[in-house]
Structure 1
Amino acid sequence: MAPGNVYERVRDVIASVKAEVAPVRPEQIGPASRLDAMPLAMDSVDLVKMIVGLEEAFDLVVEPGEMLDAPMETVADVVRSVERLLGHAA
């Protein structure tokens, strides 16, 4: 899977999680978008939903704490973590 596709799928998962509370269009989400700031403002429940969504989108099994081995402040951080779990050079 090409790295660009990883970003697009991560972005779509995040947009899907946020759609349940406050609609965020995928094009509003960029690599530098902070998970804890508007328009995302993700709380702990959102983060769990995001991880579950990423597991489904990428056919991964994420062990507890595995996504948090590295800082998870921006969308780019999430992409790097997914790439690492997929075995891509990040």
Structure 2
Amino acid sequence: MAELIKVSAQSRSTAVAGAIAGVMREEGYAEMQAIGASAVNQAIKAIAIARGYLRDDGIDLMTVPSFTEVDIEGSERTAVRIAIFRRAPIAEQIA
């Protein structure tokens, strides 16, 4: 399983996008985690940017978001976990 990409409100979306693109090229699957609205916003922007980075490699992305509980310094918080997969080309989806 690929390493978890943790995104914060201060994360640069272009840097996170580069991490996503690298993991997708190597593993074909990535997971992200973000806590809070601003962090989730950065994560979604990073996915959109990563799609552009991967376009020339013929890779498109699809995502499956979910909620998960995480322990931070003894306090339980709800995080958004985003699984990222390679999307099959349109011709393969129809067949």
TM-score, normalised by the number of residues in structure 1: 0.34
Higher Rg of the two aligned structures: 2
More helix by share: 1
Instruction: Name the one with the larger strand percent.
Output: 2
TM-score when normalising by structure 2: 0.32
